[in-house]
Amino acid sequence: MLSPPDADSVGTMTTAENFLLVLTDSDTGKAPIGQMAVEPVFGGAFLFDLVAAGRLELQGTGRKARLVVTDPTPVPDPLLQAAFERVLSARRPLTPQSAVSRLGKKGRERTYDALAAAGAVRPRPEKALGLFPVTRHDVVDVARREALLAGIRASLLNGQPADETTGPIIGLLSAADLTKAVVDKPDRSLAKARAKVISEGDWASASVRKAIQAAQSAITTTIVAATIVTSSSS
C-alpha cells in the first residue's frame, strides 16, 4: 500500500515535476508523452522556470529571438540547476528551439528521479511485452496530483483563471497536444481551445509570457521536424 509523504518533504516543485506528476497515470505508472516530444517538452518546462527565476530572458523577436543569460548564479533547485548548466555551457545566446533541445536532455528521466527523491512517485521495474525491462512510476503523492488536475480542469473547462503553477502546465499540454490526457473525451475540443487562450493569459509576467510563447513554438517546431525525419526515413 503506497502512502503519501508529508507535505513538507515534497516542498515546492518545478514545472517539470508538476507536469510529469499530472501526466503519470495512477493505475499504470505510465506518462503518455510521445518519444519525439519528450526532450522539447521538458526543455520548455525548465525554460519557463529559469525565465521566471530571472536567470534567462528572451531578447529579440522572430528569427532574431535569443535566450540570454541575465544572471548566472545557481538556482536552489538541483533539477533546475542541472538544466541551467547545460545552457551556461553553450557560452552564447541560443535560439528558443536550440534552448529547449539543450535544456530537455534526459528531462523525463531526471524529473522522475527528482519526484522519486521527493517521495512523490515510486519506481517499479517491469517488462514490456514480458521481455524488455522498463521502469514504471507509481504515484505516491496522489493528493498533490489530484489537486493539480482539479486546478487544470477548472481552468480548461470551467473558466477558472490559471495561476503560476497551472498556467505553465497548461502551456506545455497545449504545445505538445496533450490536453486530451487530462480531460474526458467529450471535453477534449473545449480543453484544446481553452488551453491555447490560457497559455497567452495574464497569469504570468510579460517576460514569462513572452518566453512561454517562444517555447511553445519551439516545442511544436521540434516535434514536427522530428516527425518528418522519422516518416521520411521509414
In a domain, 3, yes or no: no
Element (H, E) at 83: helix 78-88
Q: What is the pLDDT of residues 60-108, one digit of tens each?
A: 888 888 999 999 999 999 999 999 999 999 888 999 889 998 999 999 9
pLDDT recorded at residue 7: 39
Indicate if the pLDDT at residue 55 is higher than 50: yes
pLDDT recorded at residue 103: 94
CATH of the domain at 157: 1.10.3630.10
Region 153-162: what's the mean pLDDT?
Answer: 95
C-alpha cell at 228: 518528418
SS3 annotation, 94-121: ECHHHHHHHHCCCHHHHHHHHHHHCCCE
- Structural domains in the chain (count): 1
Q: Which residues pair with 137 in a beta bridge?
A: 123
Q: What is the pLDDT of residues 174-184, one digit of tens each?
A: 988 999 999 99
In a domain, 126, yes or no: yes
Phi and psi torsions of 155, nearest 5°: -75, -40
Reading phi first (left if > 0) and then psi (alpha if -120 to 50, else beta), residue 162 is in beta
Distances (CA, A) of 111 to 43, 73, 131, 206, 233: 11, 22, 26, 27, 30
Indicate if the pLDDT at residue 3 is higher than 60: no
In a domain, 100, yes or no: yes
Q: Is 54:76 a contact under the CB 8 Å cutoff?
A: no
In a domain, 37, yes or no: yes
In a domain, 231, yes or no: no
Q: What is the pLDDT of residues 15-53, one digit of tens each?
A: 999 999 999 999 999 999 988 889 989 999 999 999 989
Cβ contacts of 64 within 8 Å, gap of 6 or more = none
Indicate if the pLDDT at residue 227 is higher than 90: no
Quote the percentage of the chain above a pLDDT of 90: 60
Supply the range of the domain harboring residue 99.
12-224
Least confident of 2-16, 76-90, 106-120: 2-16
In a domain, 232, yes or no: no
Q: How far apart are CA 4 and CA 65, in angstroms?
A: 43
Q: Is 151:28 a contact under the CB 8 Å cutoff?
A: no
